[in-house]
Amino acid sequence: MSDATMLAADGTPLKRSLARALRRQKLRALGLIAPLLIFVLITFIVPIASMLFRSVENQIVENTLPMTVEALADWDPNAGKTPSEAVYEALYFDMFLAAEAKRHTRLGTRLNYEQTGVSSLFRQSGRALDDIGKETQKPLEELNNAWKDGETWHGIFNATDNADTALLDLQRKRVAALTGSPASDEVNFAPDATLYNLLPKTTRAYTAWAVYTATQQGRDPATRDPWEAVATALALDLRTADLSAYSGPGADLLAEAQTADLPVPAMATAFADMDEDWAGATVWKTIQTHSSTYTSGYFLNAVDAQKTPDGVAWQPDDKQILLKLFGRTIWMSLLITFSCIALGYPIAWLLANLPMRQANLLLILVLLPFWTSLLVRTSAWKVMLQQQGVINDVLVWIGLVGDGDRLIMINNQFGTIVAMTHILLPFMILPMYSVMQTIPPSYLRAAKSLGATNWTAFWRVYFPQSVPGIGAGSILVFILSIGYYITPEIVGGTKGVFISNRIAYHISSSLNWGLAAALGTILLAAVLVLYWAYDKIVGIDNVKLG
Protein backbone atom coordinates (compact mmCIF):
# COMPACT_ATOMS: atom_id res chain seq x y z
CA MET A 1 0.00 0.00 0.00
CA SER A 2 2.96 2.32 0.44
CA ASP A 3 3.54 2.51 -3.28
CA ALA A 4 1.30 5.61 -3.41
CA THR A 5 3.61 7.69 -1.17
CA MET A 6 7.06 8.72 -2.27
CA LEU A 7 9.85 7.72 0.06
CA ALA A 8 13.07 9.52 0.88
CA ALA A 9 16.43 7.70 0.83
CA ASP A 10 16.10 6.58 4.47
CA GLY A 11 12.63 5.15 3.93
CA THR A 12 10.53 7.88 5.59
CA PRO A 13 7.78 9.43 3.47
CA LEU A 14 9.21 12.29 1.40
CA LYS A 15 6.62 14.78 2.63
CA ARG A 16 7.51 14.20 6.26
CA SER A 17 11.21 14.23 5.50
CA LEU A 18 10.91 17.57 3.73
CA ALA A 19 8.81 19.02 6.53
CA ARG A 20 11.43 17.92 9.02
CA ALA A 21 14.21 19.50 6.97
CA LEU A 22 12.25 22.74 6.75
CA ARG A 23 11.60 22.72 10.48
CA ARG A 24 15.29 22.14 11.16
CA GLN A 25 16.19 25.00 8.86
CA LYS A 26 13.75 27.31 10.63
CA LEU A 27 15.09 26.29 14.02
CA ARG A 28 18.65 26.91 12.90
CA ALA A 29 17.76 30.37 11.63
CA LEU A 30 15.97 31.18 14.86
CA GLY A 31 18.89 29.78 16.83
CA LEU A 32 21.24 32.18 15.08
CA ILE A 33 18.92 35.13 15.67
CA ALA A 34 17.94 34.26 19.24
CA PRO A 35 21.03 35.60 21.09
CA LEU A 36 20.73 39.02 19.51
CA LEU A 37 16.96 39.11 19.82
CA ILE A 38 17.18 38.35 23.54
CA PHE A 39 19.95 40.93 23.91
CA VAL A 40 17.91 43.66 22.20
CA LEU A 41 14.78 42.73 24.12
CA ILE A 42 16.54 43.03 27.46
CA THR A 43 18.75 46.02 26.81
CA PHE A 44 16.38 48.05 24.69
CA ILE A 45 12.76 46.92 24.48
CA VAL A 46 12.34 46.37 28.21
CA PRO A 47 13.76 49.83 29.04
CA ILE A 48 11.34 51.42 26.58
CA ALA A 49 8.50 49.42 28.12
CA SER A 50 9.60 50.54 31.57
CA MET A 51 9.33 54.12 30.37
CA LEU A 52 5.78 53.51 29.11
CA PHE A 53 4.95 51.99 32.47
CA ARG A 54 6.41 54.97 34.34
CA SER A 55 4.15 57.33 32.48
CA VAL A 56 1.03 55.88 34.11
CA GLU A 57 2.42 54.44 37.34
CA ASN A 58 1.44 56.26 40.51
CA GLN A 59 2.04 53.93 43.44
CA ILE A 60 3.85 56.52 45.48
CA VAL A 61 0.73 57.95 47.14
CA GLU A 62 -0.57 54.54 48.11
CA ASN A 63 2.86 53.37 49.23
CA THR A 64 3.56 56.39 51.39
CA LEU A 65 0.12 56.96 52.90
CA PRO A 66 -1.61 53.55 52.71
CA MET A 67 -3.97 53.95 55.67
CA THR A 68 -4.83 57.54 54.81
CA VAL A 69 -5.76 56.61 51.25
CA GLU A 70 -8.00 53.84 52.57
CA ALA A 71 -9.65 56.06 55.19
CA LEU A 72 -10.07 58.90 52.72
CA ALA A 73 -11.93 56.74 50.19
CA ASP A 74 -15.29 57.44 51.85
CA TRP A 75 -14.80 61.18 52.15
CA ASP A 76 -17.00 63.28 49.93
CA PRO A 77 -14.83 66.11 48.58
CA ASN A 78 -17.82 68.19 47.53
CA ALA A 79 -19.58 68.22 50.91
CA GLY A 80 -17.48 71.19 51.93
CA LYS A 81 -16.21 69.56 55.10
CA THR A 82 -12.76 68.39 56.14
CA PRO A 83 -12.31 64.63 56.58
CA SER A 84 -13.15 62.86 59.83
CA GLU A 85 -10.81 62.52 62.80
CA ALA A 86 -10.06 58.92 61.70
CA VAL A 87 -8.49 60.21 58.50
CA TYR A 88 -6.26 62.63 60.40
CA GLU A 89 -5.27 59.78 62.71
CA ALA A 90 -4.35 57.57 59.76
CA LEU A 91 -2.40 60.47 58.27
CA TYR A 92 -0.49 60.90 61.53
CA PHE A 93 0.67 57.27 61.63
CA ASP A 94 1.43 57.16 57.91
CA MET A 95 3.33 60.41 57.97
CA PHE A 96 5.26 59.39 61.05
CA LEU A 97 6.62 56.25 59.44
CA ALA A 98 7.24 58.08 56.16
CA ALA A 99 9.07 60.89 57.95
CA GLU A 100 11.27 58.40 59.79
CA ALA A 101 12.11 56.80 56.43
CA LYS A 102 12.53 60.33 54.95
CA ARG A 103 10.05 59.48 52.22
CA HIS A 104 7.36 62.06 52.95
CA THR A 105 9.27 64.76 51.04
CA ARG A 106 9.21 62.62 47.92
CA LEU A 107 5.47 62.34 48.10
CA GLY A 108 5.34 66.09 48.74
CA THR A 109 7.34 66.66 45.57
CA ARG A 110 5.05 64.33 43.63
CA LEU A 111 1.87 66.06 44.78
CA ASN A 112 3.47 69.44 44.25
CA TYR A 113 3.30 68.78 40.49
CA GLU A 114 -0.47 68.82 40.89
CA GLN A 115 -0.85 71.56 43.47
CA THR A 116 1.84 74.06 44.30
CA GLY A 117 2.63 74.31 47.99
CA VAL A 118 2.16 70.67 48.96
CA SER A 119 5.90 70.08 48.95
CA SER A 120 6.61 72.61 51.68
CA LEU A 121 3.50 71.53 53.58
CA PHE A 122 4.76 67.96 53.76
CA ARG A 123 8.27 68.99 54.69
CA GLN A 124 7.02 71.18 57.55
CA SER A 125 4.57 68.61 58.80
CA GLY A 126 7.25 65.93 58.85
CA ARG A 127 9.29 68.08 61.22
CA ALA A 128 6.35 68.98 63.47
CA LEU A 129 5.04 65.41 63.90
CA ASP A 130 7.34 64.60 66.80
CA ASP A 131 5.71 67.26 68.98
CA ILE A 132 2.33 65.53 68.86
CA GLY A 133 3.84 62.26 70.02
CA LYS A 134 5.86 63.86 72.80
CA GLU A 135 2.66 65.16 74.40
CA THR A 136 1.63 61.62 75.26
CA GLN A 137 5.02 59.96 75.55
CA LYS A 138 6.16 62.26 78.36
CA PRO A 139 3.19 61.73 80.72
CA LEU A 140 3.36 58.00 80.04
CA GLU A 141 7.00 57.80 80.99
CA GLU A 142 6.44 60.01 84.02
CA LEU A 143 3.65 57.71 85.09
CA ASN A 144 5.89 54.70 85.14
CA ASN A 145 9.59 54.63 84.36
CA ALA A 146 9.22 51.15 82.86
CA TRP A 147 7.73 52.69 79.66
CA LYS A 148 11.12 54.25 78.98
CA ASP A 149 12.57 50.81 78.63
CA GLY A 150 12.40 49.13 75.24
CA GLU A 151 12.27 45.70 76.82
CA THR A 152 9.01 46.54 78.58
CA TRP A 153 7.30 47.25 75.26
CA HIS A 154 8.82 44.19 73.60
CA GLY A 155 7.75 42.05 76.54
CA ILE A 156 4.16 43.20 76.25
CA PHE A 157 3.63 43.03 72.50
CA ASN A 158 5.84 40.09 71.52
CA ALA A 159 3.74 36.97 71.10
CA THR A 160 4.50 33.95 73.24
CA ASP A 161 2.25 31.45 71.50
CA ASN A 162 -0.46 32.97 69.26
CA ALA A 163 1.37 35.34 66.92
CA ASP A 164 -0.49 37.34 64.27
CA THR A 165 1.74 36.66 61.26
CA ALA A 166 -0.73 38.35 58.87
CA LEU A 167 -0.17 41.67 60.64
CA LEU A 168 3.59 41.19 60.57
CA ASP A 169 3.55 40.42 56.84
CA LEU A 170 1.33 43.39 56.19
CA GLN A 171 3.77 45.71 57.96
CA ARG A 172 6.71 44.15 56.12
CA LYS A 173 4.96 44.91 52.85
CA ARG A 174 4.17 48.42 53.98
CA VAL A 175 7.79 49.17 54.93
CA ALA A 176 9.13 47.56 51.76
CA ALA A 177 6.73 49.55 49.58
CA LEU A 178 7.57 52.75 51.42
CA THR A 179 11.34 52.47 51.36
CA GLY A 180 11.70 50.60 48.10
CA SER A 181 14.10 48.12 49.68
CA PRO A 182 13.16 44.61 50.84
CA ALA A 183 11.92 44.17 54.42
CA SER A 184 12.18 40.41 54.69
CA ASP A 185 15.05 40.12 57.21
CA GLU A 186 14.52 38.48 60.59
CA VAL A 187 12.73 40.89 62.94
CA ASN A 188 12.97 39.19 66.37
CA PHE A 189 9.38 40.17 67.01
CA ALA A 190 5.93 38.81 66.28
CA PRO A 191 2.79 40.72 67.27
CA ASP A 192 0.53 39.13 69.84
CA ALA A 193 -2.89 38.31 68.40
CA THR A 194 -4.77 38.91 71.67
CA LEU A 195 -3.29 42.35 72.09
CA TYR A 196 -4.00 43.14 68.46
CA ASN A 197 -7.67 42.59 69.27
CA LEU A 198 -7.54 44.72 72.39
CA LEU A 199 -5.13 47.46 71.33
CA PRO A 200 -5.16 47.39 67.49
CA LYS A 201 -3.56 50.79 66.81
CA THR A 202 -0.76 50.28 69.30
CA THR A 203 0.07 46.78 68.10
CA ARG A 204 0.08 47.94 64.51
CA ALA A 205 2.25 50.97 65.26
CA TYR A 206 4.65 48.90 67.34
CA THR A 207 4.90 46.20 64.64
CA ALA A 208 5.59 48.80 61.95
CA TRP A 209 8.28 50.31 64.15
CA ALA A 210 9.84 46.90 64.90
CA VAL A 211 9.91 45.92 61.20
CA TYR A 212 11.43 49.24 60.22
CA THR A 213 14.03 49.17 63.00
CA ALA A 214 15.08 45.60 62.29
CA THR A 215 15.04 45.52 58.50
CA GLN A 216 16.03 49.06 57.55
CA GLN A 217 18.34 50.00 60.39
CA GLY A 218 19.58 46.56 61.32
CA ARG A 219 18.85 47.03 65.03
CA ASP A 220 17.23 44.70 67.53
CA PRO A 221 13.72 45.96 68.43
CA ALA A 222 13.81 44.04 71.73
CA THR A 223 16.23 46.45 73.33
CA ARG A 224 15.16 49.77 71.85
CA ASP A 225 12.63 52.36 72.84
CA PRO A 226 9.83 52.70 70.22
CA TRP A 227 8.83 55.93 68.49
CA GLU A 228 6.56 58.55 70.01
CA ALA A 229 3.87 57.39 67.59
CA VAL A 230 3.52 54.11 69.51
CA ALA A 231 2.87 55.97 72.75
CA THR A 232 0.27 58.11 70.96
CA ALA A 233 -1.37 54.96 69.61
CA LEU A 234 -1.48 53.52 73.11
CA ALA A 235 -3.15 56.61 74.48
CA LEU A 236 -5.72 56.46 71.67
CA ASP A 237 -6.39 52.76 72.25
CA LEU A 238 -6.67 53.03 76.02
CA ARG A 239 -9.56 55.47 75.73
CA THR A 240 -11.86 52.74 74.52
CA ALA A 241 -10.12 49.40 75.18
CA ASP A 242 -11.68 46.94 77.60
CA LEU A 243 -8.72 45.42 79.41
CA SER A 244 -10.66 43.83 82.27
CA ALA A 245 -10.23 40.31 80.92
CA TYR A 246 -6.57 40.74 79.96
CA SER A 247 -4.00 39.09 82.19
CA GLY A 248 -1.00 38.70 79.87
CA PRO A 249 2.38 40.38 80.24
CA GLY A 250 2.23 44.00 81.33
CA ALA A 251 -1.45 43.82 82.33
CA ASP A 252 -0.90 45.94 85.44
CA LEU A 253 1.17 48.49 83.54
CA LEU A 254 -1.58 48.88 80.95
CA ALA A 255 -4.28 49.09 83.62
CA GLU A 256 -2.32 51.77 85.43
CA ALA A 257 -1.93 53.74 82.20
CA GLN A 258 -5.63 53.43 81.45
CA THR A 259 -6.72 54.79 84.82
CA ALA A 260 -4.19 57.63 84.55
CA ASP A 261 -6.23 59.08 81.70
CA LEU A 262 -3.35 60.09 79.43
CA PRO A 263 -3.73 63.22 77.32
CA VAL A 264 -4.82 62.34 73.81
CA PRO A 265 -4.10 64.85 71.07
CA ALA A 266 -6.98 65.75 68.77
CA MET A 267 -5.35 64.97 65.46
CA ALA A 268 -7.44 67.27 63.29
CA THR A 269 -6.66 70.24 65.54
CA ALA A 270 -3.02 69.24 65.85
CA PHE A 271 -2.58 69.14 62.06
CA ALA A 272 -4.48 72.39 61.65
CA ASP A 273 -2.09 73.99 64.16
CA MET A 274 0.86 72.69 62.18
CA ASP A 275 -0.33 74.30 58.99
CA GLU A 276 -3.74 75.73 58.26
CA ASP A 277 -3.71 74.02 54.86
CA TRP A 278 -4.57 70.77 56.63
CA ALA A 279 -7.80 72.36 57.85
CA GLY A 280 -8.86 73.17 54.30
CA ALA A 281 -10.29 70.77 51.77
CA THR A 282 -7.88 71.53 48.91
CA VAL A 283 -4.94 69.41 49.98
CA TRP A 284 -7.25 66.51 50.83
CA LYS A 285 -8.87 66.77 47.44
CA THR A 286 -5.43 66.60 45.85
CA ILE A 287 -4.47 63.50 47.84
CA GLN A 288 -7.77 61.79 47.08
CA THR A 289 -7.71 62.64 43.36
CA HIS A 290 -4.20 61.33 42.90
CA SER A 291 -4.32 58.28 45.15
CA SER A 292 -5.04 55.70 42.46
CA THR A 293 -2.27 53.21 41.60
CA TYR A 294 -2.32 54.14 37.92
CA THR A 295 -2.97 57.61 36.70
CA SER A 296 -3.57 59.49 33.52
CA GLY A 297 -2.31 62.57 35.34
CA TYR A 298 1.12 62.65 33.73
CA PHE A 299 -0.32 62.46 30.24
CA LEU A 300 -2.78 65.22 31.10
CA ASN A 301 0.12 67.29 32.43
CA ALA A 302 1.99 66.60 29.22
CA VAL A 303 -0.73 68.35 27.25
CA ASP A 304 -1.11 71.21 29.73
CA ALA A 305 -4.16 69.77 31.44
CA GLN A 306 -4.56 68.42 34.94
CA LYS A 307 -6.72 66.10 36.94
CA THR A 308 -8.90 67.86 39.46
CA PRO A 309 -11.63 66.53 41.78
CA ASP A 310 -14.14 67.90 39.27
CA GLY A 311 -12.60 66.17 36.28
CA VAL A 312 -10.05 67.23 33.71
CA ALA A 313 -9.22 70.92 33.48
CA TRP A 314 -6.60 73.09 31.81
CA GLN A 315 -3.55 74.11 33.78
CA PRO A 316 -3.41 77.72 34.94
CA ASP A 317 -2.25 79.99 32.12
CA ASP A 318 1.24 80.55 33.46
CA LYS A 319 1.92 76.79 33.55
CA GLN A 320 0.76 76.12 30.00
CA ILE A 321 4.04 75.66 28.15
CA LEU A 322 4.12 72.11 26.86
CA LEU A 323 1.54 72.32 24.08
CA LYS A 324 3.33 75.42 22.86
CA LEU A 325 6.59 73.49 22.99
CA PHE A 326 5.10 70.59 21.03
CA GLY A 327 3.84 73.10 18.49
CA ARG A 328 7.22 74.77 18.29
CA THR A 329 8.98 71.41 17.88
CA ILE A 330 6.72 70.52 14.95
CA TRP A 331 6.92 73.99 13.42
CA MET A 332 10.71 74.18 13.62
CA SER A 333 11.10 70.62 12.36
CA LEU A 334 8.97 71.59 9.35
CA LEU A 335 11.12 74.66 8.74
CA ILE A 336 14.26 72.52 8.96
CA THR A 337 12.74 69.98 6.59
CA PHE A 338 11.86 72.69 4.05
CA SER A 339 15.31 74.27 4.28
CA CYS A 340 16.78 70.82 3.69
CA ILE A 341 14.58 70.33 0.61
CA ALA A 342 15.51 73.76 -0.73
CA LEU A 343 19.24 73.19 -0.24
CA GLY A 344 19.27 69.48 -0.98
CA TYR A 345 17.32 69.42 -4.24
CA PRO A 346 19.85 71.35 -6.39
CA ILE A 347 22.74 69.33 -4.95
CA ALA A 348 21.02 66.01 -5.58
CA TRP A 349 20.12 67.13 -9.09
CA LEU A 350 23.71 68.17 -9.79
CA LEU A 351 25.11 64.90 -8.41
CA ALA A 352 22.65 62.81 -10.44
CA ASN A 353 23.41 64.61 -13.70
CA LEU A 354 27.18 64.94 -13.51
CA PRO A 355 29.47 62.24 -14.91
CA MET A 356 30.08 59.45 -12.37
CA ARG A 357 33.64 60.43 -11.54
CA GLN A 358 32.88 64.07 -10.76
CA ALA A 359 29.71 63.10 -8.91
CA ASN A 360 31.63 60.72 -6.67
CA LEU A 361 34.13 63.43 -5.87
CA LEU A 362 31.39 65.89 -4.92
CA LEU A 363 29.59 63.17 -3.00
CA ILE A 364 32.54 63.10 -0.62
CA LEU A 365 31.71 66.71 0.31
CA VAL A 366 28.25 65.49 1.31
CA LEU A 367 29.50 62.42 3.14
CA LEU A 368 32.20 64.22 5.10
CA PRO A 369 29.76 66.14 7.30
CA PHE A 370 27.62 62.99 7.50
CA TRP A 371 30.56 61.12 9.02
CA THR A 372 31.86 63.91 11.21
CA SER A 373 31.04 63.76 14.88
CA LEU A 374 27.79 65.52 15.75
CA LEU A 375 29.49 67.43 18.53
CA VAL A 376 32.20 68.62 16.18
CA ARG A 377 29.58 70.06 13.86
CA THR A 378 27.63 71.58 16.74
CA SER A 379 30.74 73.16 18.22
CA ALA A 380 31.67 74.45 14.77
CA TRP A 381 28.31 76.21 14.55
CA LYS A 382 28.74 77.63 18.00
CA VAL A 383 32.09 79.06 16.89
CA MET A 384 30.66 80.41 13.64
CA LEU A 385 27.47 81.96 14.97
CA GLN A 386 28.70 83.62 18.17
CA GLN A 387 28.60 87.38 18.42
CA GLN A 388 32.39 87.36 18.47
CA GLY A 389 32.36 84.47 16.00
CA VAL A 390 33.57 83.98 12.47
CA ILE A 391 30.44 85.05 10.56
CA ASN A 392 30.00 88.26 12.53
CA ASP A 393 33.71 89.04 12.14
CA VAL A 394 33.47 88.60 8.39
CA LEU A 395 30.34 90.75 8.18
CA VAL A 396 32.00 93.49 10.21
CA TRP A 397 35.14 93.24 8.10
CA ILE A 398 33.15 93.57 4.88
CA GLY A 399 31.31 96.47 6.43
CA LEU A 400 27.80 95.05 6.21
CA VAL A 401 27.25 95.47 9.93
CA GLY A 402 28.79 97.88 12.38
CA ASP A 403 31.02 96.57 15.13
CA GLY A 404 28.48 97.79 17.67
CA ASP A 405 25.46 95.93 16.36
CA ARG A 406 26.70 92.45 15.59
CA LEU A 407 23.95 90.01 14.69
CA ILE A 408 22.55 87.71 17.34
CA MET A 409 22.47 84.37 15.58
CA ILE A 410 22.88 81.93 18.43
CA ASN A 411 20.76 80.90 21.44
CA ASN A 412 17.60 81.49 19.44
CA GLN A 413 15.51 79.70 16.84
CA PHE A 414 17.71 80.91 14.01
CA GLY A 415 20.76 79.18 15.48
CA THR A 416 18.88 75.90 15.92
CA ILE A 417 17.46 75.97 12.40
CA VAL A 418 20.79 76.75 10.71
CA ALA A 419 22.79 74.19 12.67
CA MET A 420 20.21 71.44 12.32
CA THR A 421 19.70 72.08 8.62
CA HIS A 422 23.42 71.60 8.19
CA ILE A 423 23.46 68.46 10.31
CA LEU A 424 20.46 66.84 8.63
CA LEU A 425 21.12 67.95 5.05
CA PRO A 426 22.99 64.73 4.07
CA PHE A 427 19.94 62.71 5.17
CA MET A 428 17.93 64.68 2.61
CA ILE A 429 20.49 64.62 -0.21
CA LEU A 430 21.24 60.89 -0.14
CA PRO A 431 17.68 59.55 -0.68
CA MET A 432 16.97 62.27 -3.26
CA TYR A 433 20.18 61.40 -5.09
CA SER A 434 19.38 57.71 -5.24
CA VAL A 435 15.90 58.42 -6.64
CA MET A 436 17.14 60.96 -9.19
CA GLN A 437 19.79 58.54 -10.42
CA THR A 438 16.99 56.31 -11.69
CA ILE A 439 15.29 59.06 -13.76
CA PRO A 440 16.45 58.66 -17.38
CA PRO A 441 17.79 61.98 -18.74
CA SER A 442 16.23 61.12 -22.13
CA TYR A 443 12.77 61.99 -20.74
CA LEU A 444 13.79 65.62 -20.36
CA ARG A 445 15.23 65.68 -23.85
CA ALA A 446 12.09 64.09 -25.22
CA ALA A 447 9.95 66.73 -23.52
CA LYS A 448 12.10 69.51 -24.92
CA SER A 449 12.07 68.07 -28.41
CA LEU A 450 8.27 68.05 -28.21
CA GLY A 451 8.40 71.77 -27.64
CA ALA A 452 8.41 72.15 -23.87
CA THR A 453 10.34 75.04 -22.37
CA ASN A 454 13.06 74.22 -19.85
CA TRP A 455 10.74 75.06 -17.01
CA THR A 456 7.79 73.02 -18.30
CA ALA A 457 10.03 70.07 -19.01
CA PHE A 458 11.40 70.19 -15.49
CA TRP A 459 8.11 70.88 -13.72
CA ARG A 460 5.89 68.50 -15.71
CA VAL A 461 8.35 65.68 -16.41
CA TYR A 462 11.33 65.62 -14.08
CA PHE A 463 9.92 66.94 -10.83
CA PRO A 464 6.99 64.46 -10.50
CA GLN A 465 9.45 61.60 -10.84
CA SER A 466 11.71 63.00 -8.14
CA VAL A 467 8.86 63.38 -5.62
CA PRO A 468 9.44 59.95 -3.99
CA GLY A 469 12.98 61.07 -3.15
CA ILE A 470 11.69 64.29 -1.62
CA GLY A 471 9.13 62.32 0.36
CA ALA A 472 11.65 59.83 1.68
CA GLY A 473 14.17 62.50 2.60
CA SER A 474 11.54 64.74 4.21
CA ILE A 475 10.10 62.05 6.45
CA LEU A 476 13.60 61.00 7.49
CA VAL A 477 14.70 64.55 8.27
CA PHE A 478 11.46 65.35 10.05
CA ILE A 479 11.63 62.24 12.22
CA LEU A 480 15.23 62.89 13.11
CA SER A 481 14.66 66.53 13.93
CA ILE A 482 11.62 66.20 16.22
CA GLY A 483 13.66 63.95 18.49
CA TYR A 484 16.85 66.02 18.47
CA TYR A 485 18.39 67.00 21.76
CA ILE A 486 22.09 67.89 21.62
CA THR A 487 22.10 70.66 19.02
CA PRO A 488 19.08 72.61 20.32
CA GLU A 489 20.51 72.31 23.82
CA ILE A 490 23.77 73.95 22.77
CA VAL A 491 22.75 76.52 20.16
CA GLY A 492 19.05 76.92 20.97
CA GLY A 493 19.14 79.04 24.12
CA THR A 494 15.66 79.18 25.65
CA LYS A 495 13.64 80.07 22.57
CA GLY A 496 15.08 77.44 20.25
CA VAL A 497 14.68 74.27 22.29
CA PHE A 498 12.55 71.24 21.51
CA ILE A 499 10.32 68.92 23.48
CA SER A 500 13.28 66.56 23.93
CA ASN A 501 15.12 69.24 25.92
CA ARG A 502 12.11 69.43 28.20
CA ILE A 503 12.27 65.64 28.69
CA ALA A 504 15.94 65.88 29.63
CA TYR A 505 15.13 68.76 31.98
CA HIS A 506 12.51 66.69 33.80
CA ILE A 507 14.85 63.72 34.02
CA SER A 508 17.90 65.48 35.37
CA SER A 509 16.77 68.74 36.97
CA SER A 510 13.15 68.75 38.10
CA LEU A 511 13.12 64.96 38.70
CA ASN A 512 9.48 64.75 37.54
CA TRP A 513 10.15 61.38 35.93
CA GLY A 514 6.50 60.54 35.36
CA LEU A 515 6.01 63.64 33.24
CA ALA A 516 9.27 62.95 31.37
CA ALA A 517 8.05 59.44 30.62
CA ALA A 518 4.66 60.72 29.43
CA LEU A 519 6.28 63.29 27.14
CA GLY A 520 8.62 60.59 25.84
CA THR A 521 5.69 58.27 25.18
CA ILE A 522 3.86 60.92 23.16
CA LEU A 523 7.01 61.67 21.15
CA LEU A 524 7.61 57.96 20.59
CA ALA A 525 4.07 57.47 19.34
CA ALA A 526 4.51 60.34 16.89
CA VAL A 527 7.79 58.95 15.60
CA LEU A 528 6.37 55.45 15.20
CA VAL A 529 3.41 56.74 13.20
CA LEU A 530 5.80 58.65 10.93
CA TYR A 531 7.97 55.57 10.51
CA TRP A 532 4.97 53.52 9.63
CA ALA A 533 4.26 56.08 6.91
CA TYR A 534 7.91 55.95 5.84
CA ASP A 535 7.74 52.17 5.61
CA LYS A 536 4.59 52.40 3.49
CA ILE A 537 6.13 54.97 1.15
CA VAL A 538 9.76 53.91 0.92
CA GLY A 539 10.18 50.65 2.82
CA ILE A 540 12.52 50.32 5.81
CA ASP A 541 14.61 47.85 3.84
CA ASN A 542 15.62 50.65 1.48
CA VAL A 543 17.48 52.50 4.22
CA LYS A 544 20.97 52.94 2.88
CA LEU A 545 24.06 54.01 4.75
CA GLY A 546 26.79 56.07 3.19
Partner 1 sequence: MGLPPYATLGQRIWYYSFRVICGLIFFFLVAPIVVVMPLSFNAQDFFTFTPEMLRLDPEGYSLKHYRDFFTNPQWQLALKNSLIIAPLATIISVSLGTLAAIGLSQSHVPFKGTIMAILISPMIVPLIISATGMFFFYAQLGNWLEGTLGLDKGFVGYVKVVLAHAVLGIPFVIITVTATLVGFDHSLTRAAANMGAGPVTTFFRVQMPLILPGVISGGLFAFITSFDEVVVVLFVGSASQKTLPWQMFIGLREQISPTILAVATILVVISIALLTTVELLRRRSERLRGLSPG
Considering only residues 149 to 188 of the shown chain, the ones binding partner 1 according to CB under 8 A are: none
* Segment near partner 1 (CB under 8 A); pick from 18-26, 169-177, 190-198, 200-208: 18-26
35 binds partner 1 (CB under 8 A): yes
Question: DSSP state, 42?
Answer: I
Sites for partner 1 among residues 52-81 (CB under 8 A): 54
Nearest alpha carbon to residue 193 among 157, 231, 237: 157
389 binds partner 1 (CB under 8 A): yes
11 binds partner 1 (CB under 8 A): no
Sites for partner 1 among residues 317-356 (CB under 8 A): 343, 346-347, 350, 353-356
Beta bridge partners of 400: none
To partner 1, the closest distance from the beta carbon of 302 in angstroms equals 13
How far apart CA 493 and CA 419 sit, in angstroms, is 13
Q: Assign residue 411 a region: left if phi > 0, alpha if psi is -120 to 50, beta otherwise?
A: left
293 CB-side CA count, 13 A: 5
26 binds partner 1 (CB under 8 A): yes
Sites for partner 1 among residues 356-375 (CB under 8 A): 356, 360, 362, 364-369, 371-375
Between 7 and 32, whose beta carbon lies closer to partner 1?
32
To partner 1, the closest distance from the beta carbon of 54 in angstroms equals 6
What Å distances lie between residue 276 and 56, 88, 269, 270, 282, CA to CA? 32, 14, 10, 10, 11
To partner 1, the closest distance from the beta carbon of 527 in angstroms equals 6
Residues 6+ apart with CB under 8 A from 205: 93, 226, 227, 229, 230, 232, 233
106 binds partner 1 (CB under 8 A): no
* Segment near partner 1 (CB under 8 A); pick from 8-16, 25-33, 202-210, 244-252: 25-33
CB of 312 within 8 A of CB of 305? yes
Sites for partner 1 among residues 205-244 (CB under 8 A): none
Please, what is the end-to-end C-alpha distance for the chain in angstroms?
Answer: 62
Question: DSSP state, 117?
Answer: T
Between 25 and 160, whose beta carbon lies closer to partner 1?
25
Give me the 441-480 binding string for partner 1, x by CB under 8 A, dash otherwise: -------------x------------------------xx
How far apart CA 462 and CA 473 sit, in angstroms, is 17
Task: Tell me the three state secondary structure of residue 314.
Answer: strand
433 binds partner 1 (CB under 8 A): no
- Tell me the site size for partner 1, rule CB under 8 A: 91
Sites for partner 1 among residues 515-544 (CB under 8 A): 516-517, 520, 523-524, 527-528, 531, 540, 543
Q: Give the one residue of 388, 442, 494, 509 binding partner 1; rule: CB under 8 A.
A: 388
CB of 66 within 8 A of CB of 91? no
